[in-house]
Amino acid sequence: MLAVLSVLLSVVLVLNTFTAVITQQTNQIGIIKAIGGGRGTVIKVYLAGVFILGLLALLVALPLGSWVSYQMSRWMLGMYTIEYDRFLTGGRVLYIQVGAALLVPLVAALVPVLRGAAITVREAISSYGVGGDYRDGLLDRIVERVGRNILRPSTVIAIANTFRRKTRLALTQLVLVISGVTFLMVMGLSSSMRATLDAEFERREYDFVFYFDELIRIDRVSETTSRFENVQDAGMWLMLPATILHSGQRKLDAGMGSQLQGVPVADPMIKPMVVEGRWLQPGDQRAIVMNAGTGEDEGIHIGDKVILDLGELGEEDWLVVGFYRTFTMFGSDFNYDVIYAPQQALFDASKKHGRGNMLLVRTYDRKETAIDRTVDDLDDLLQRENMPVDMRETMPDTRRIIESGYDIVVNMILFLAVIMAVVGGIGLMGMLSIGVIERTKEIGIMRAVGALSGTILGMFVLEGLFQGVLSWMLAVPLSLIVAPWMASALGETIFNTELIYRYNYGAVFIWLGIIVFVSVLASIIPGRRATQVNVRQSLSYE
- 25: pLDDT strictly greater than 90: no
- Give the pLDDT score at 298: 80
Burial (0-12, 13-18, 19+ Cβ within 10 Å), 371: buried
Better pLDDT: 380 or 150: 380
- Over residues 82-91, the mean pLDDT reads 69
Which pLDDT band, with edges at 50, 70 and 90, does 177 fall under? confident
- Over residues 43-48, the mean pLDDT reads 87
- Give the pLDDT score at 142: 63
- Give the pLDDT score at 114: 85
CA atoms of 401 and 76, how far apart (whole Å): 13
- Give the pLDDT score at 257: 47
- Give the pLDDT score at 112: 82
> What percent of the chain has pLDDT above 70?
79
Which pLDDT band, with edges at 50, 70 and 90, does 143 fall under? low
Which pLDDT band, with edges at 50, 70 and 90, does 246 fall under? low
Which pLDDT band, with edges at 50, 70 and 90, does 458 fall under? confident
Q: Which of 91-95, 201-205, 455-459, 463-467 has the lowest mean pLDDT?
A: 91-95
- Give the pLDDT score at 375: 92
- Give the pLDDT score at 38: 82
- Give the pLDDT score at 472: 93
- Give the pLDDT score at 537: 60
- Give the pLDDT score at 89: 67
CA atoms of 504 and 188, how far apart (whole Å): 5
Question: Any idea what DSSP says for residue 344?
Answer: H
Q: Which helix (H) or strand (E) holds 13?
A: helix 2-24
- Give the pLDDT score at 535: 65
Which pLDDT band, with edges at 50, 70 and 90, does 351 fall under? confident
Question: Any idea what DSSP says for residue 204?
Answer: B
- Over residues 452-456, the mean pLDDT reads 78
- Over residues 138-160, the mean pLDDT reads 64
Indicate if the alpha-carbon torsion angle 113, 118, 124, 128 is positive or negative: negative
Three-class secondary structure assignment of 101-137: HHHHHHHHHHHHHHHHHCCCHHHHHHCCCCCCCCCCC
- 328: pLDDT strictly greater than 50: yes
Q: Indicate the average pLDDT of the chain.
A: 79
- Over residues 405-430, the mean pLDDT reads 74
- Give the pLDDT score at 536: 64
Write out the DSSP string of 441-487.
HHHHHHHHTT--HHHHHHHHHHHHHHHHHHHHHHHHHHHHHHHHHHH
Phi, psi of 340 (to 5 degrees): -95, 140
pLDDT in tens, 480-519: 988 888 777 777 766 666 778 888 899 899 999 988 888 8
- 273: pLDDT strictly greater than 60: yes
- Give the pLDDT score at 254: 37
CA atoms of 316 and 312, how far apart (whole Å): 12
Which pLDDT band, with edges at 50, 70 and 90, does 321 fall under? very high
Which pLDDT band, with edges at 50, 70 and 90, does 380 fall under? very high
Q: Give the total residue count for the chain.
A: 542
- 146: pLDDT strictly greater than 70: no
CA atoms of 147 and 240, how far apart (whole Å): 76
- Over residues 225-238, the mean pLDDT reads 89
- 79: pLDDT strictly greater than 70: no
- Over residues 361-365, the mean pLDDT reads 92
Write out the DSSP string of 23-74.
HHTHHHHHHHHHTT--HHHHHHHHHHHHHHHHHHHHHHHHHHHHHHHHHHHH
- Over residues 37-64, the mean pLDDT reads 86
- 256: pLDDT strictly greater than 60: no
Which pLDDT band, with edges at 50, 70 and 90, does 147 fall under? low
CA atoms of 312 and 285, how far apart (whole Å): 21
Which pLDDT band, with edges at 50, 70 and 90, does 26 fall under? confident
Provide Rg for the chain, Cα atoms: 33
CA atoms of 247 and 307, how far apart (whole Å): 8
CA atoms of 198 and 402, how far apart (whole Å): 12
CA atoms of 119 and 435, how far apart (whole Å): 19
Which pLDDT band, with edges at 50, 70 and 90, does 250 fall under? very low
- Give the pLDDT score at 126: 59
- Over residues 42-67, the mean pLDDT reads 86
Long-range CB pairs of 488-497, under 8 A, 24+ apart, other chains included: 490/189, 490/409, 491/192, 491/193, 491/196, 494/329, 494/406, 494/409, 495/193, 495/196, 495/327, 495/328, 495/329, 495/406, 496/293, 496/325, 496/327, 496/328, 497/196, 497/325, 497/326, 497/327, 497/328
Three-class secondary structure assignment of 214-281: EEEEHHHHHHHHCCCCCEEEEEEEEEEECEEEECCEEEECCECCEEEEEECCCCCCECCEEEEECCCC
